Amino acid sequence: MSTKKFKTEVADLLHLIIHSLYSNKEIFLRELISNASDAIDKLRYLSLTDEKLKGFSFSPRIDLSFTEEGERILTIKDNGIGMNEADLNDNLGTIASSGTRKFLASLTDEQKKDSNLIGQFGVGFYSAFMVAKKITVISRKAGEDQAWKWESDGESSYSVTESERSEQGSTIILTLNEEGEEFANRWQLETLIKKYSDNIAYPIYLEYDQVHYDNEKKDENGNALKTTEHKVEQINTASALWKRSKSSIKDEDYKEFYKNTFYDSEDPLFYIHTQAEGTTEYTTLFYIPSKAPFDMYYADYRPGVKLYVKRVYITDDDKDLLPTYLRFVRGIIDSEDLPLNVSREILQENRVMTAIRNASVKKLLGEFRKIAENNPELYKKFIAEYNRPLKEGLYSDYANRETLLELVRYKSTADDGYVSLKEYKSRMKEGQKAIYYISGGKEDVLRTSPLVAAYREKGYEVLIMGDDIDDIVVSTIGEYDKTPLRAINKAGALDDLKSEEDKAKEEAKKPVAEKIKTALGDRVKDVVISSRLSSSPAAVILSDEDPSMEMQRLMKQMGGEMPEVKPLLEINPDSPVIAKIEAEKDEDLVKALCSVILDQALIQEGVMPPDPAAFAANLTRLLS
């Protein structure tokens, strides 16, 4: 016998699962049946693609049985791919999930009750310890003769020994604890199978003894004669929901299928079911989760779409089935035209798969657009979760950029919520030359920029682009509906609001601009006269080709090479501070004043002055 201790992470996770993570312990049955279905999926796939298993013949099925008297035992058996000794150690003795422990430590008590988390970590098997004091797994891998037994009480260790099994597959034997005894019951099991696993693609059989009483026949004590009939019944419908006609599927069916297939405890925001015929025949069933997947911004995120060919499972681990910016979509793609032995390498280049992918993207974006037009409240919920990944599409999906421009939303100075570019344009002032925006920082910092205040005072709406990718994305857009997008914190917008009076004032104030530039030296690229500022003495802006202050900061944090970018200082010609500089003869005092207004302008952009001590010293001198 080989007895091994669980790794520390596994022991911690087991304790959390058993005592905290599931608010509803009946979920364990869904998890074990789903695992059995996955095992059958894998064997069906390998029987078509693996040389060692090609032509492997079997009749897929899942069987459940139980004992109601004495020690209560529940057994779940499948004839799928099975496991050998190494698989049992890898799959049931360890949990290969990066950052699992750190993530679990960060969960709130409420989050720990979310059964969705189990599916995301792929550790549903361990949920059975909520109802079992001991679990035994007897498994034999397809193509091998030796079976193996894994056994554990879920505390600290497990054992693996040689065993026997007549065919490939796995048998999971749960010795139920007091919490789990209720599941050694025919009606309870039948109810749960119909509730959670009705659409599993393989038949699920329940084995039980049915007792009959014959009142016309009595035993020696005068009681009705009892006879027992052993029965085996198929409980689930075993049909792929996505292949059924849409008219035959209820809204509740769609939602239950989603929750059971994609391990979410909440209903989806909405779903999109397409059955395409013609040159390329395929079916898709896509869901939008009500909450963004927790790993949406992880480099190693798990894709959410499963690929089938003629109802045969192929993969659920291919990130190329949909573009990266739609990684939050969950669902099924089932093709009638792909070869059954399609490999992942072929998938990336296959003409049929490319056509399905392109059509699926257009269908999804088209549905998003319909919802935006016809159901604004639902679209608000969608945007709250998925606005940022849609913006990634603007950068990466040129073919669908026009549609994406209609879908993305931005914060604005004219609205409390999100606005579209279309809404902004409909509100533009007569004679307005561009769609104005500000980016390069957090939303609260951008909103308090003196440049934003200047545009608001003049009656112009400004889009607040506070997402960290806005800087990268907006520069690739250029224009919307033949109207240019222009950053108010870049030099390109300097002249848009300039009147003839402003031009005359600019000419008159050139000497003070030169004076400030001389005082600041190489700290600025240039000093320019503003026609926009009204209350602040100055603001920092950048040349059109330079990255924003926030982008510079992020690049430095990431250790990237970032050449020094010098800002332009935009000064308010009507400010008393600028007038003070203009009149002051003391060069040291002029330098102190100029340094302070530059540092103040940087602080207003959320940037720390390069020499905080010098800033404090200059400020103290001026105050005293």
Whole-number pLDDT of residue 16: 65
Q: Is 603 helix (H, G, I), strand (E, B) or coil?
A: helix
Measure the CA–CA gap between 571 and 509, rounded to whole angstroms.
Answer: 10
Q: Is 183 helix (H, G, I), strand (E, B) or coil?
A: helix
Whole-number pLDDT of residue 101: 44
Measure the CA–CA gap between 522 and 564, rounded to whole angstroms.
Answer: 11
Q: Name the token pair of 332.
A: 């099924």
Which helix (H) or strand (E) segment is 305 a member of? strand 305-309
The per-residue b/e assignment along 193-202, b for 16 or more CB within 10 angstroms, e otherwise, is beebbbbbbb
Distance of CA 314 to the CA centre of its chain: 22
Whole-number pLDDT of residue 9: 59
The per-residue b/e assignment along 64-103, b for 16 or more CB within 10 angstroms, e otherwise, is bbbeeeeebbbbbbbbbbbbbbebbbebbbebebeebbeb
The model's pLDDT over 405-456, given as tens digits with 9 standing for 90+, comes to 999 999 999 988 899 999 999 999 988 989 999 998 889 989 988 999 889 8
The model's pLDDT over 163-173, given as tens digits with 9 standing for 90+, comes to 999 999 999 99
The four Cα atoms 355, 356, 358, 364 give a dihedral, to 10 degrees, of: 160
The burial of 464, by beta-carbon neighbours within 10 Å (0-12 exposed, 13-18 middle, 19 or more buried), is given as: buried
Paired sense of beta strands 224-234 and 73-78, if any: unpaired
Residues 6+ apart with CB under 8 A from 610: 523
Segments of the chain with pLDDT less than 50: 96-104, 112-122
Which helix (H) or strand (E) segment is 234 a member of? strand 224-234
Q: Which domains does the chain have, with CATH numbers?
A: 2-234 (3.30.565.10), 241-379 (3.30.230.80), 408-492 (3.40.50.11260), 500-623 (1.20.120.790)
pTM equals 0.71
In angstroms, the first-to-last Cα distance of the chain is 83
Measure the CA–CA gap between 323 and 346, rounded to whole angstroms.
Answer: 17
- Side-chain-side CA neighbours of 380 within 13 Å: the count stands at 8
Please check whether residue 54 is in contact with residue 157, taking contact to mean a CB–CB distance below 8 angstroms.
Answer: no
- DSSP string for residues in 438-482: EESS-HHHHHT-HHHHHHHHTT---EEE-STTHHHHHHHH-EETT
The four Cα atoms 72, 181, 162, 159 give a dihedral, to 10 degrees, of: -130
CA nearest neighbour of 305 among 241, 275, 348, 262: 262
The Cα-based distances of 127 to 107, 176, 211, 288, 478 in angstroms read 18, 13, 32, 26, 52
Please check whether residue 156 is in contact with residue 15, taking contact to mean a CB–CB distance below 8 angstroms.
Answer: no
